[in-house]
Structure 1
Amino acid sequence: MILQTNAAPSAQETDDGDRQPGGAYRDAFGRSASGPLAGIVVADFGRVLAGPYCTMLLADLGATVIKVESPSGDETRAWKPPVFEGQSTYYLSINRNKRSIALDFGDPDDLETARCIAGSADVVIENFKPGGLDRFGLDYTSIAERNPAVVYASITGFGTAGGAELPGYDLLVQAMSGLMSLTGDSHTPGYRSGIAVFDVITGLHAAIGVLSALHERGKSGRGQRIEVNLMSSALSGMVNQTAGFLLSGNVPTRMGNEHPSIYPYEPFPTAKGEIILGIGNDRQFRTLCGVLGVPELVTDPKFAAAPDRSLNRSALRPILQDKLAARTASEWFDIFTEARLPCAPINDVRGGMEFAQRLGLEPIVEVGNGEDALPGVRNPITFSATPASYDLVPPGIDADRGDILQWLQSAVPRT
């Protein structure tokens, strides 16, 4: 059974993918689903971050996501602290709107169930070690034989050629890609990013690949395999730094909070606290000089043009610091915002959430309903007609075995 969106339901879709009045669908388990991916079934063989983040985004947008776990569960279930009611907040952050089944691939019945799930899904996402699913018959070639229209996404750390044996941890990729050489002050060792940034970027790339392949399948009827890896995503995600090396031979180094090509573009001390200035063009610099009472800087040949400001930042910095010392960061934020200058306070995570709330971005949503509901971070994509939903709290291990097995009985003939 392959569910097709934006098409009339086939005979196989009548039990779990059919439209209801008003354009909504029932998902594979009879739940109303009206998001843009309603009717799509995703078999999630991913774990930790990149795969689960990708599948959560798809689930928010209406896809039915079946999370296949080992009997011990996703590793992130044990990544504590912090915790919410005893559960790992790491796990909770990337597994809403999914259903869980625990399967031991060493057990013949469990393995056949895994094959049936993959064989009945529109999308399969996995991040096992390259070749790790071959011996179980869960690799792309094996699944495509029984499910030719499947979109099969593999996520690895370093690809399937020379890096196939390397463990795919975000921290390792931050080190090997060069990101850590860019993070920190010039006199400090390299630092990792405060988040697993390349896991997240790779998860986004995987989601883009899946959606693109589904679009192609809608035209051709063909499925295909998608491969993404953290190292390639890292090199792509470092954009100007990798391009600067390729095009000019420049090997960038750590500059703390400074930008190699723009100035002023860093935190500045004030009478109380620091404020970020991000002056990206000459017009903004003219405005800044007017606000600070130093209009003569606009015509100074050392500072008049953006490249000159970057080259002469050591001379410009103390002038700006002297002027900024007259007021607090909070006062400057109000003044600069009124002048439409790019600026920002330096918040902690609590402050960031509160600031987003003040802007009306509504960053916090309620996941689930009733006593089991918990707060979550809003999906960042807004749709005018088919909004994201937050119906299911992250599942417990094997919480949906009965429903999934019942669905398989009607969806896929046992052979």
Structure 2
Amino acid sequence: MTTATRQGPLAHIKVLDLTRVRAGPTCVRQFADWGADVIKIESPEHMEVSDGWGGLRDGPDFQNLHRNKRSLALNLKDPAGLEVFYKLVESADVVAENFRPDVKFRLGIDYETLRKINPKLVYASISGFGQDGPYAKRPGFDHIVQGMAGLMSVTGHPDSGPMRAGIAVADVGAGLYCAMAVMTALLERQTSGQGQWVQVSLLQAMIAMLDFQAARWLFLGEIPVQAGNDHPTSIPTGVYPTADGHINIAAGEQAMFRRLCDALQRPDLMQDPRFDSEEGRSLNRHALNPLLAQITRQRSSAEWIAAFEAGHVAAGPINRMDQVFADEQVRHLGMAQPLAHPRLGEVEVVAQPFGLSRTPSQLRSVAPDRGEHSAQILAGCGYSAEHIERLRSAGVI
């Protein structure tokens, strides 16, 4: 990857990526896709330290998370390796890490150490529970945080017990919040000329993403409970059976429910005193939902979707992943983007979900092999070929 091919609104930004597993790489991917020079710093092969993925480097998850990066294999436990890292920090804009909170201090790569080298540095730390406090040293895993933050208590059917979300929502949420925080710090730096330490935890991100459910407790003292596929308050909003599967309907608002009744050819439902108000429908959901299910079972999913679209009723199919990427709107939006992999041939990864009219994101390269760009990166810092070879021979890179 050359400077010429690396374009975009963040092409002037250099990120040193010490992150691993998911939350950290999710953050850094936001910079890589928008043109930043992201240097993924990994332990050399001889140290037998993985990125948390074992032998799955060519797998879809690793490739999707680490595209558009360069890789430098560097032993940070070796004084010579630490010297190289400090040299890189001199010209870096961002350092991102998600080690356990104490590890950065033990390695000598904490914020206070690095800001003495580069006062403009924005240093991003993602942890499970925060950089300090009673839980700071606990291992932070998405599944654990989903439970601790309350998500599992409001997910699933009441008779099924706690239920985790089907994606790593705490990891991804923390990564995206961290990217936004780093962007904010970079913008502030334009005024102050100073960097700062950005801190995000999975626990904080997950609680923030609970949003209105968390606000119900803070404002009203209400403890939200599991509502299955129903919306907690707006009914009917949920999953309904059809002749050949299931569909989603969202018609809790008064005008939308009226249109739903018209599309179902059941205007009497709107006149029923149990269902003629939003509050009544929420209170009487166990009576309304079976009635709606009896009706929706009479036609196929496609027929109902067409009828609801014609009647301006919010509804949609419940797709498997193959159906998601076959959907005409998803294809139109270009959410699957191709990349050429040297071993796997053409592969597809998930595109960025937002666009900029003048400076769009770019998918330029697949995830790098470990240390693929070590010589290139060090040469760019002024190291001679002989010096680079000595570092390689000593196992530093």
The alignment's TM-score, normalised by the length of structure 2, stands at 0.91
Partner of 1:166 in structure 2? Answer: 138
CA contact (8 A) 2:6 2:364 kept: no
CA apart distance, 1:323: 1.6
Pair 137,31 (structure 1): closer, same or farther in 2 beyond 3 Å:
farther
CA apart distance, 1:139: 0.4
Q: Which amino acid aligns with 1:150?
A: L
Partner of 2:339 in structure 1? Answer: 367
1:130 equivalent in alignment to 2:81: no
Pairs within 5 Å for 1:97-108: 97-108=68-79
1:46 equivalent in alignment to 2:44: no
CA contact (8 A) 2:120 2:195 kept: yes
Partner of 1:3 in structure 2? Answer: none
**CA deviation profile, 1:226-254 (whole Å, cap 9, x unmatched):** 10000000110011111111112221222
Q: Which runs of 4+ in 1 moved over 6 A?
A: none
Pairs within 5 Å for 1:3-402: 29-71=2-44, 72=48, 74-78=50-54, 87-160=58-131, 161-355=133-327, 360-368=332-340, 373-402=346-375
Q: Which amino acid aligns with 2:67?
A: R
CA contact (8 A) 2:15 2:37 kept: yes
The answer for unaligned runs of 5 or more in structure 1 is: 1-26, 81-85, 411-415
Pair 131,76 (structure 1): closer, same or farther in 2 beyond 3 Å:
closer
Question: In structure 1, how many angstroms separate the alpha carbons of the residues matched to 2:89 and 2:128?
Answer: 22
Q: Please tell me the root mean square deviation across aligned C-alpha atoms, in Å.
A: 1.9
Question: In structure 2, how many angstroms separate the alpha carbons of the residues matched to 1:144 and 1:356?
Answer: 49
Question: In structure 2, how many angstroms separate the alpha carbons of the residues matched to 1:56 and 1:281?
Answer: 38
CA contact (8 A) 1:131 1:139 kept: no
Partner of 1:11 in structure 2? Answer: none
The answer for unaligned runs of 5 or more in structure 2 is: 384-397
CA contact (8 A) 1:44 1:66 kept: yes
CA apart distance, 1:98: 0.3
CA contact (8 A) 2:42 2:51 kept: no
Q: Which amino acid aligns with 2:181?
A: G
Pair 31,277 (structure 1): closer, same or farther in 2 beyond 3 Å:
same
Identity %: 38
Q: Which amino acid aligns with 2:129?
A: F
More RCO (CA 8 Å, sep 6+): 2
CA apart distance, 1:153: 0.7
- Say which SS state the counterpart of residue 226 (structure 1) adopts: strand
| Residue correspondences, number | 378
